[in-house]
Structure 1
């Protein structure tokens, strides 16, 4: 798709640069400078998007939703956010469902009327990829929903086996923290890790509502480096990351990673790559458990990477299937993608 013309409909287009980013907005309220952007976005679920966005959807050969945890409604707060930013987009994609694909994301939980509304729209989408078993179970009645690894997992499977697996790992592990709701003993774990002085504290996210800098500065003993800078270091080190994509980006870079998971997506991703033993519940994990896993990796790094190698062929097979689905949409095939996958 080197010659493809992309348009990105974003809930906050100003965060990006380029004419290809279009602000998600409704037909009427967004024209007023007195109405906050987020308030105006809530109206899109009822009023629909502006004419510019409708025309883009009409003219597109392919409509793609990126991965994320955007569709959820288990309580009032997430439901309102989901409605304002993403339910209207789902309705628009469903209108052109024959050429729409939802890439791997976690969907749910939902309750009552909102769940039924989301299920009706998902059923109109050509293919809906979910990255964890709970999402698949919640929408088992929707024929277009299928299980597919996280996009970062697909990227990991494309990578050759790290050339430095036989290189001794540094004794200076890295930890990535983030704020958590309903933390239970999570902050006790972080305080214990901070007092141990054995970790470098690094930053995976610093934008918008996902700013880990204040917490990381409090826990660390020096100015935290971005993970991109840490992963550029010559010697690989063990990474302990609360953020899933901090863990996955570490694995892609050849750094063994333990994930402190707080959502279903973490367990799904680590199951897909064969690292079930190296994911802990962030809210209940202890430093002793983390230390035990680090010692297991240090004792036999090759065994750690071999777990991933055994899953790569399976992951690449699912990615090839996804690429075939995308090609069939662009080429105008009306074959049911889900039925084809089940029969293969």
Structure 2
């Protein structure tokens, strides 16, 4: 069995690296440890820890003038990927929120990168499955993208808005994020996995820069994050962590904009060193990575994927809109009496339902190549 994994990004963003790792685990679970796996990513060197062949994603992995050249000669740039797929038995698209655009420039990049990978996968006629992801919104023509997804053997989406794009397509299914599924498996194996203090003594905060909002909205976002940090420091010890250090998506640079200049550790190292009682994360996979470490997590989301994930986990009141952060709501929620233990119980109670959806996914995926 030969499987090619498409749409990898960079392990320098721990959330994106996690999704690639979980995609590989899913492939091995369903098709065996002797499966041959190829990983196509925009930063293939960052996945050097994997014992599999790695390939640079066309255009996306190139730098400088080479990227311009690959974009101009797009057909030739994708020829190597076409050759790779011709030797593949199954294409697996990693989950995530990469199939979207918020501006004309982002939409152009999408067409040259992820959308073109999707098109190449579908035109190869190789069986294909796309793992839980968000599709849209788009700034520009999206019909070809939607049509290509509709031609895949199976597509799993992790929010209802994405599902609504495919109302008449029987190949599209609603399913939780792979990290949410992994979390459910851990909790079912160890029901007391989520460690809940009576009140947050140490709080870890994971922040990121805002999207392409107006200057006024960005100023408001920064002001509310600063207010949140002040309010948290009045009640708890606060440590900050970095989840992404990849070029163009560098959390450390944003912390410096906030006036936070101390040396910051990656989230995983921060969780290990400080053992916080609570994480408040503006990154979805920062929140889920914290949950996977057994730490309750509140999520500030400015994308619908966060609301979908927290709804799947049964704790939808622990997520707020990053476009209009309600600092009072966050403080009142996480410092309410026994808030952490009540969060842990509700999360644990949903795990059997999540596990059932994981089994459903596995059955569909295995059925594709029978």
Shorter-chain TM-score: which interval?
Answer: 0.7 to 0.9
Q: CA RMSD in A?
A: 2.6
Higher relative contact order (CA 8 A, sep 6+): 2
Matching residue within 329, 332, 352 for 1:292 = 332
1:39 Cα deviation from its structure 2 partner: 5.1
User: Residue in 1 aligned with 2:167?
Assistant: 140
**Structure with the larger strand share:** 2
User: Residue in 1 aligned with 2:136?
Assistant: 108
Describe the shift of the 1:37–1:111 C-alpha distance in structure 2 as closer, same or farther (beyond 3 A): closer
TM-score, normalised to structure 1's length? 0.85
What is the DSSP-based 3-state SS (H/G/I as helix, E as strand, rest coil) of the residue aligned with 2:335? helix
Tell me whether 1:180 sits opposite 2:215 in the alignment: no
Q: Describe the superposition over 1:159-194 as per-residue Cα deviations: whole angstroms up to 9, x where unpaired.
A: 123446355454121111100022452211112134
Distance in structure 1 (CA, Å) of the matches to 2:327 and 2:225? 8
Q: Identify unmatched segments of 5+ residues in structure 1.
A: 334-344
Q: Identify unmatched segments of 5+ residues in structure 2.
A: 1-31
Distance in structure 2 (CA, Å) of the matches to 1:323 and 1:305? 27
Q: Describe the superposition over 1:242-286 as per-residue Cα deviations: whole angstroms up to 9, x where unpaired.
A: 000010111111111100001010000000001110001112113
Tell me whether 1:11 sits opposite 2:50 in the alignment: no
* C-alpha contact (below 8 Å) 1:175/1:202 kept by paired residues: yes
1:204-223 equivalences under 5 Å are 204-217=243-256, 218-220=258-260, 222-223=262-263
What is the DSSP-based 3-state SS (H/G/I as helix, E as strand, rest coil) of the residue aligned with 1:317? helix
Distance in structure 2 (CA, Å) of the matches to 1:309 and 1:262? 25
Tell me whether 1:192 sits opposite 2:222 in the alignment: no
User: Residue in 2 aligned with 1:155?
Assistant: 182
* C-alpha contact (below 8 Å) 1:243/1:260 kept by paired residues: yes
Distance in structure 1 (CA, Å) of the matches to 2:280 and 2:144? 38
Report how many aligned residue pairs link the two structures.
323
* C-alpha contact (below 8 Å) 2:99/2:135 kept by paired residues: yes
Structure (1 or 2) with the larger CA radius of gyration = 1
User: Residue in 2 aligned with 1:249?
Assistant: 289
What is the DSSP-based 3-state SS (H/G/I as helix, E as strand, rest coil) of the residue aligned with 1:3? coil
* C-alpha contact (below 8 Å) 1:169/1:236 kept by paired residues: no
User: Residue in 1 aligned with 2:358?
Assistant: 319
* C-alpha contact (below 8 Å) 2:128/2:152 kept by paired residues: yes
TM-score, normalised to structure 2's length? 0.79
Matching residue within 141, 144, 147 for 1:120 = 147
